[in-house]
Amino acid sequence: MSIMRVRWGPQHPVSGQWAFWLDVDGDIVVNMEPDIGYTHRGIEKVAENRTYIQNVPVVERTSVFDAGNIVFGYVQAVEELMGIEIPERAKYIRTIVGEMSRIVSHLYGLGLLAIAVGFETMLMWFINDRELFLDLFEMLTGARITYSFFIPGGVLHDLPQGFYDEAMRRLDYFERRLKDYWKMFFLNRTFITRTRGVGVLKREDAIRLGVVGPNLRASGVEADVRKDEPYAAYDQIDFIIPTEKEGDAYARGGVRFHELEQSVSIIRQALKKIPDGKIRVKVPITPTPPKGEAYSRVETARGEIGYYIISDGSNRPYRVKISAPSFRNLLAMPFLSRNVPMADIPTIYLSLDLIPLDVDR
C-alpha cells in the first residue's frame, strides 16, 4: 500500500503552535516528524541583550502556562552566581507560588487531554477550577498568569492580608473537587478505553530518550528535582513523589492527578509553617555577578528545567541556555507515534503535555 504524507497543524484544533508531518499507511502512522519553530522568539539570544533583572519577564515567556516554576530556575541560577542566600520566608512564598503554578499547569494539561479524548465537560471543569488559583495569583501578585513574581534575592510582595484564609478555603473546595475528578474522569470507561495502552513508554526508553517530569515518573522512574536536589523549602516539607509503572497515556494523566493532591498538601504545610521575617535581601537594581557559571535545576509542571548561565562579569549574561522540559520530552513524540492509529496521535501528544512555546523558546 502506498504511504501518504499528511500535515497536521498549525491551524488545527489540537495542534497548538506547531505542526507534524505524518506518514500514514491507511490509518496507521508509520513515521512522524515534528515541524517546530512557529513560536521561536530567540529567548536565549534576547536574554544576552538585557540585564539580569530585565530578563525575568523574558524567560517567563518560555512557558506562561507555568510561569512560577519557569522563573524559579532562572532566579536560582542568578542567585548562585551572585552567592546570595535568600530569607526563609521568601523560600516558603516561592514554594507556595511554585506549587500553585504546578496546579494551574496540570489542570490546563489535563483539560487538553480530556478534549483530546472527546470529553468536553471535563475541559470545562478543569479550566473553571483553574480560575480558583488564578484568582489567588491575582490576590498575591496582581496578575493572572504572567506575574514575574520572583526576582533575584527573594520575591516581590509579601502574602497579603487574608491570603491564608482565602487559600485554605479554596484548597478545601479544590480537594473535594479532586474526588469528583477521580470518579468522573479517571474511572470513566471512555477515558480508560481511549488511554490505557496508548503510547507506552518503557522505563529504559524513557531514560534513553532523556524524558523528564511526570512522563518519566509514569514510566516508573522515581526522579524529581524536589527530592533529588531540594531547593527552596522543599526539604522541610513532607510529600511523596507519585509514580506509575505502566507508562501509557493513562498513567501519565494519573501521575498528574496525584501530583495535584500532593501540591495541595504542600501548599497547606507551607502556609502553616511559614516563618516571619524579610521577603528579600537587598540586590542592586543592575546586579553584576562575578565571572563564573551556574546550572540550576527546578521541577516544573512538565518536568525538570535547566538554566545554564555564564557570566563574564558584566551586567548582562554572556550566555543563557534554557533546557526546557517540553523540548526534552519532544523526542518521545516521534518514538511513540510509530505504528499507532492516527486517532491516537492527539492522545499521545497531549498526554506528554508538550507545549510548543516551551519547545521553541
Partner 1 sequence: MMRKVEEWKEGRCRLFHFEIGKIQDWKPVKDLLNWARAWSLWSVHLCTGCCSPELMAVACSRFDAERFGTLPFPTLRECDLLFILGVVSEKMAKRVKITYEQMPEPKYVIALGDCAISGGLWWDSHNVVQGVDKIIPVDVYVPGCPPRPEAWIQGIRLLQKKIMEGR
Partner 2 sequence: MIKVEEEVVETLKQTFTEYVVEAKVQREKRVTVVVKRERLVEIARFLRDNLQFDHIASVSGVDYPEKNEFMVVYHVWSIPKKVLVALKTSVPRDNPHLSSLISVWEGVNYFERETWEMFGIIFDGHPNLSRFLLPEDWDRGFPFRKDFKLRTKPE
Tell me which residues touch partner 1 (CB under 8 A): 10-13, 16-17, 37-42, 45-46, 49, 57-58, 61, 64-65, 108, 111, 123-124, 127-128, 130-131, 134, 144-146, 357, 360
> Binding residue for partner 2 (CB under 8 A) from 139, 321, 342, 343?
321
Minimum CB distance to partner 1 smaller for 145 or for 255: 145
Q: Are 119 and 90 in contact (CB under 8 A)?
A: no
* Strands in the chain per DSSP E: 4-8, 19-25, 28-35, 150-151, 154-155, 292-300, 303-311, 317-323, 340-341
> Binding residue for partner 2 (CB under 8 A) from 221, 232, 233, 301?
221
Minimum CB distance to partner 1 smaller for 111 or for 287: 111
> Binding residue for partner 2 (CB under 8 A) from 68, 214, 306, 317?
306
Task: Please choose, out of 98-106, 158-166, 185-193, 303-311, the segment that lies near partner 2 by the rule CB under 8 A.
Answer: 303-311
Task: Please choose, out of 71-79, 109-117, 278-286, 324-332, the segment that lies near partner 2 by the rule CB under 8 A.
Answer: 324-332
Q: Answer yes or no whether residue 218 interacts with partner 2 by CB under 8 A.
A: no
- Rounded CA gap, 146 and 234, in Å? 23
Minimum CB distance to partner 2 smaller for 49 or for 286: 49
Minimum CB distance to partner 2 smaller for 175 or for 205: 205
> Binding residue for partner 2 (CB under 8 A) from 112, 232, 330, 336?
330
Q: Are 191 and 146 in contact (CB under 8 A)?
A: no
Q: How far is the CB of 61 from partner 2 (least distance, A)?
A: 15
Q: How far is the CB of 331 from partner 2 (least distance, A)?
A: 6
C-alpha grid cell for residue 136? 489567588
Minimum CB distance to partner 1 smaller for 7 or for 273: 7
Residues in CB range of 280: below 8 A, 6 or more apart: 86, 87, 90, 151, 153, 154, 155, 156
Q: How far is the CB of 46 from partner 2 (least distance, A)?
A: 7
Minimum CB distance to partner 2 smaller for 45 or for 291: 45
The site partner of 12 among partner 1, partner 2, none (C-beta below 5 to 8 Å per kind) is partner 1
Q: Answer yes or no whether residue 186 interacts with partner 2 by CB under 8 A.
A: no
Nearest C-alpha neighbor of 324 from the set 98, 60, 103: 60
Minimum CB distance to partner 2 smaller for 110 or for 348: 348
10 upstream amide cis, omega within 30 of 0: yes
Dihedral over Cα of 14, 33, 31, 348: its sign: negative
Minimum CB distance to partner 1 smaller for 39 or for 323: 39
Task: Please choose, out of 133-141, 167-175, 205-213, 247-255, the segment that lies near partner 2 by the rule CB under 8 A.
Answer: 205-213
Burial track 31-51 (b if 16+ CB lie within 10 A, e otherwise): ebebebebbeeebbebbeebb
Burial track 117-154 (b if 16+ CB lie within 10 A, e otherwise): bebeebbebbbebbebbbebbeebbeeebebbbbbbbb
Residues in CB range of 68: below 8 A, 6 or more apart: 97, 98, 100, 101, 102, 147, 149, 150
Amino acid, res. 184 = M
Q: How far is the CB of 137 from partner 1 (least distance, A)?
A: 12
Q: Are 238 and 187 in contact (CB under 8 A)?
A: no
223 φ, ψ (degrees, to nearest 5): -130, 120
Catalog residues that contact partner 2 under the rule CB under 8 A.
36-37, 40, 42, 44-46, 49, 207-211, 221, 223, 228-229, 295, 297, 304, 306, 308, 310, 318-319, 321, 323, 327-328, 330-331, 360
